[in-house]
Amino acid sequence: MNLSAACSRIFKTTGWTVDSNLPPEIKKCIIIAAPHTSNWDFWYTMAAFAIYRLKIRFTVKKEWMQFPFSLLMKPLGGIAIDRTPRTVESDRKSFVEAMVELFRENKELIIVITPEGTRSLRDKWKTGFYHAAQGAGVPICLGYVDYAKKKAGIGKVIYPKDYVTDMREIMAFYGQVTAKFPEKFAVDKDFVA
Confirm if 94 and 87 have CB atoms less than 8 A apart. Answer: no
CA terminus-to-terminus distance, the chain: 46
How far, in Å, CA of 75 to CA of 77, rounded?
Answer: 5
- Distance CA(53)–CA(31), nearest Å, equals 14
**pLDDT at res. 152:** 95
pLDDT at position 118 is 67
How many domains does the structure of the chain reveal? 1
Q: What share of the chain is helix, strand, coil (3-state, %, to 5)?
A: 40, 20, 40
Q: Domain of 117?
A: 3-187
On whether residue 123 sits in a domain, the answer given is yes
Q: What residue ranges in 16-172 does DSSP mark as E strands?
A: 17-18, 28-34, 57-61, 78-81, 109-113, 140-146, 151-158
Residue 149 in any domain: the answer is yes
**Mean pLDDT of the 42-51 span:** 88
Does residue 192 form part of some domain? no
Q: Write out the H or E segment, with its range, that includes residue 28.
A: strand 28-34
38 in a structural domain: yes
Q: How far apart, in whole angstroms, are the C-alpha atoms of residue 111 and residue 33?
A: 10
Residue 34 carries which side chain, given as an amino acid letter? A
Tens of pLDDT, residues 134-181: 999 999 999 999 999 999 999 999 999 999 999 999 999 999 999 999
| Bridge partners, 157 (sequence order) | 141
pLDDT digits (tens, 9 = 90+) for 71-124: 888 887 888 877 666 667 777 778 888 889 989 999 999 999 888 866 677 788
Can you give the pLDDT at residue 92?
A: 74
| pLDDT for 9 beyond 80 | yes
